[in-house]
Structure 1
């Protein structure tokens, strides 16, 4: 898995920004790559529609909030991935960690751990939480025609955020934390001079 080795080298040569949650909640997600000759695929999930869920219907990575029994955020990411999509990351190759993020306006820290699999595994989705899981190629994610913006009405004002169109453009776009994590990975790989790049070129307002 030459691509995975290159990505692991880049991730582990980059100092990781770790944010202590303090009184904030802590959640963790898994960014899972599948190596392909023309560049890796990335596994995404779409959350089920639930009016009580802040992330309802959004595109993201498997993961969720820490529980008292978790030994750390990586264990949270692995447990949540197993519960949500039936994938045991103990069989995957751990590549490294991205910078922690704090979404604007939310009292939560998000940690992201990167893994590689040598083939697309059979998934068993928890349909109460996950509507679907799908793979997208890095090449497709890097397509400039996919760049767009989404409008989000917050508590105080309406804001516009960079995003990626998926499918024919009528599907839920990829934006927010997931978009920021992909850009984080892209920045690290570019800085390391690797040919395998993630996604999300900088978009001007």
Structure 2
């Protein structure tokens, strides 16, 4: 049997410190009815943003004042949603790095996800980057019947990418990959596989 450390050990991209870095926070909570829910943001509609209106986790690029990628995730979450992970979040784990590109350039960027348990009040304060916050039950996200394919047009043709839908929202791309990484680990109580 594998040790807990082996199961939870995240994959780190070699030479990640030489690339542009970003990080996000996967935040879960226990709802009033005892369900475990995961926080998503819906990005604001912005001209020129290829992910405008998409569902995502709060986070963003590291700034020179961020001591670590985890500090960047905490800062960006506070800026975008008003959720203070330093004061009211319990850090649980770091998930595997993912590689993407800058929004406007083809240079690679490493994104690191961090998992937190939310232990604060439910109120949020959204900034201009976020349209809304949606708490989605993990039981819905983990159910196979809620997974499907989303058509995504590229210069070389249309791809059918995996996604999960919830009340008109579509979780796909990097957010879907991070979600699958979270669901594959024994980190969140009440997941009930």
Question: Is the TM value for this pair above 0.5?
Answer: yes
Counterpart in the other structure of 2:154: 154
- Deviation digits for residues 23-67 of structure 1, max 9, x if unmatched? 532110000010246541101100001122232111011001111
User: Which of 89, 92, 96 is matched with 2:93 structurally?
Assistant: 96
Q: Which has the higher strand share?
A: 2
Q: Does 1:18 align with 2:12?
A: yes
Evaluate the alpha carbon distance shift between residue 13 and residue 109 of structure 1 in structure 2; reply closer, same or farther with a 3 A threshold. same
Pairs within 5 Å for 1:165-180: 165-167=165-167, 171-180=168-177
* Residues in 1 aligned to 2:137 and 2:149: alpha-carbon distance in whole angstroms: 21
TM-score normalised by length of structure 1: 0.79
Moved over 6 A (4+): none
**Equivalent residue pairs, number:** 184
* Residues in 2 aligned to 1:188 and 1:182: alpha-carbon distance in whole angstroms: 10
User: Which of 50, 53, 56 is matched with 2:46 structurally?
Assistant: 50
* Residues in 1 aligned to 2:121 and 2:134: alpha-carbon distance in whole angstroms: 10
Pairs within 5 Å for 1:42-121: 42-90=38-86, 91-103=88-100, 107-118=108-119, 121=122
* Residues in 1 aligned to 2:192 and 2:52: alpha-carbon distance in whole angstroms: 25
TM-score normalised by length of structure 2: 0.84
SS at match of 1:124: coil
RMSD: 2.6
